[in-house]
Structure 1
Amino acid sequence: MTPNPLKVFLVCVLFFLFLADNLVEAGDDWPVGKAAIIIDDFGGTGKGTEEFLAGNIPVTVAIMPFMEHSTEIAERANELGFEIMIHLPMEPKKGKVSWLGPKPILSNLTAEEVRELVKAAIKDVPHAKGINQHMGSKIVENREIINEILAVTKAHGLYVIDSGTNPESCLPAVSEKYGLLFDERDIFLDNTRSSSSHVYKMAKKLADLAEANGEAIGIGHVGLKGKDTYMGIQKAVPYFEKNHVTIVPVSSLLETEIDEDFDGFWQD
């Protein structure tokens, strides 16, 4: 018996409507962006340290080397499943020298001294996957010193994030020269006077950037206002989820073989 063309047509229409409806529902759960949140200045007893380490936000932990608890925090953060970076102190054009911490990269160091300091920093912060600068507005435009820093960085297989402390930074160019995995900060989430509400607003802006561009990097800090930074980011987590933006380690934004189960992090 020859099938009725009208019935065949109606069945096909119903099938495709059913399929489209299910695709829309599934699409509601698809992530549309990734956001990495780097938290700088770990290594001491800065406020917010315990909150971030005990929390369930998969931030990337950027640790200053040569501090009282640098190695201890690196080991602990690694055991807890956080990705770790070296937050390398570098000489700024302005700012208090006391903010640099011990053994910073200074412009009067020899090439060998710079290389040895970077090697020591890598040893002091075990499990690090990458590096970014602490302050450093003066150093990042000094191509000779950046060459020495990134030569050691390449030898140890670390990625590089430019914290964005100087628009004349040569980190992008030298990273490209060495073939390093590289990215730049998009937004600062806090400052030394930030309230948790300010951080919340900036974290939502980070989510919006990630949703619009596919990915984004924000930087916050432990320290004087570290607890406010933690509370502001924690409050913004539902906004990320609502807008289908996943908070991920920095390495997941780079073309790298570093394997981080950032989805599993939330289930622990």
Structure 2
Amino acid sequence: MKTCKLVLLSIFILFALPTDIVQGKTTELKSAIIIDDFGGGAGGVMDFLDGEIPITAAVMPFTKKSKEHAELAHKRGLEVIVHLPMQPKKGKRSWLGPNPITVDLTPNEVKKRVEEALESVPYAVGLNNHMGSLAVEDEELVRAIVEVAKERNLYIVDSGTSPKSKFPKLAKELGVPVLIRDVFLDDVSTVTHVSRQMRKLAKITEQNGEGIAIGHVGVNGKICYTGIVLSMNEFEEKHIEIVPVSELFLDDTKHFNIQ
């Protein structure tokens, strides 16, 4: 009788467990954290570079410290991408820095600027857009960028500055790996808000198996860094690994996030 009960209990537990555990697998939960604006302001730069969190460093091209920050990040084992300045619908042109991608450029001029941006940021394996709410909606312009990414074997992260962005559509069409940012960490610059956004990232990652967030160095860079660091215990408890963006593309079934 006891043996029968044990067998029934074992069967119940077996069917109650998630399929991946029954098959001897464990679900890998991965989040990537892109930190924008390296190459620019100093706030938080060395905190992130010397820290233990494997962030992805998005470096502004054409600045005095573009090369230096890219090389430092690479030396410390961090993944580097180009933080490509693109024209917004509102804002000062000075916020874009030199040689931005603007809607008055021809496709060939756009390609030339993207190539030059890549030359100014060594070790870059991908790119994301800095601002760009206007430019990312221009199909001809975005196609030129995606074509360079394809030629250079780069991935693209759409920073999510416009819901009408052409990056997801054209990247899928041309076979370029693309992801869309899920969470902005420091749109409000307080440690409490950054920590709250990190919890949101964790929830998205638990739901989808992966998630991607963007924060910044600069004036409030140390606030962003502190909020992220204070959230690491929760990520460890939830068994969520912080990884370079490129690791999110290792599963071919998740190549294109076009939600």
Q: TM-score range by the shorter chain?
A: 0.7 to 0.9
Distance 2:46 2:251 in 1: 29
Q: CA deviation at 1:256?
A: 7.2
Could you list the per-position Cα deviations for residues 238-260 of structure 1 after superposition, in whole angstroms to 9, with x for gaps in the alignment?
A: 01011111111111111479xxx
1:265 alignment counterpart: none
Contact 1:42/1:63 (8 A) holds in 2: yes
2:255 alignment counterpart: none
| Alignment partner of 1:73 is 2:73 | no
Q: CA deviation at 1:210?
A: 0.4
Distance 2:251 2:81 in 1: 15
After TM superposition, list the pairs within 5 Å mapping 1:107-256 onto structure 2: 107-191=103-187, 193-255=188-250
- Considering only CA atoms, is the larger Rg found in Structure 1 or Structure 2? 1
| Alignment partner of 1:38 is 2:41 | no
Q: Residue 177 of structure 1: SS of its match in structure 2?
A: helix
Q: Residue 34 of structure 1: SS of its match in structure 2?
A: strand
List alignment gaps of at least 5 residues for structure 2. 253-259
Could you list the per-position Cα deviations for residues 108-135 of structure 1 after superposition, in whole angstroms to 9, with x for gaps in the alignment?
A: 1122211110001111111111111000
Q: Residue 123 of structure 1: SS of its match in structure 2?
A: helix
TM-score of the superposed pair, with normalisation by structure 2: 0.87
Could you list the per-position Cα deviations for residues 55-86 of structure 1 after superposition, in whole angstroms to 9, with x for gaps in the alignment?
A: 00011110010111111111111111101111
Distance 2:239 2:92 in 1: 40
2:30 maps to a residue whose letter is K
Contact 1:32/1:211 (8 A) holds in 2: no
- After the TM superposition, list the runs of 4 or more consecutive aligned residues in structure 1 that deviate by more than 4 angstroms: none
1:206 maps to a residue whose letter is L
1:164 maps to a residue whose letter is G
Distance 1:116 1:221 in 2: 27
1:3 alignment counterpart: none
Distance 1:53 1:184 in 2: 24
Distance 2:61 2:233 in 1: 33
Q: Residue 218 of structure 1: SS of its match in structure 2?
A: strand
Q: CA deviation at 1:211?
A: 1.1
TM-score of the superposed pair, with normalisation by structure 1: 0.84
Q: CA deviation at 1:39?
A: 0.6
Contact 1:31/1:246 (8 A) holds in 2: no
Distance 1:213 1:179 in 2: 22
CA RMSD for the aligned pairs? 2.5
1:210 maps to a residue whose letter is T
Contact 2:41/2:219 (8 A) holds in 1: no
1:112 maps to a residue whose letter is N
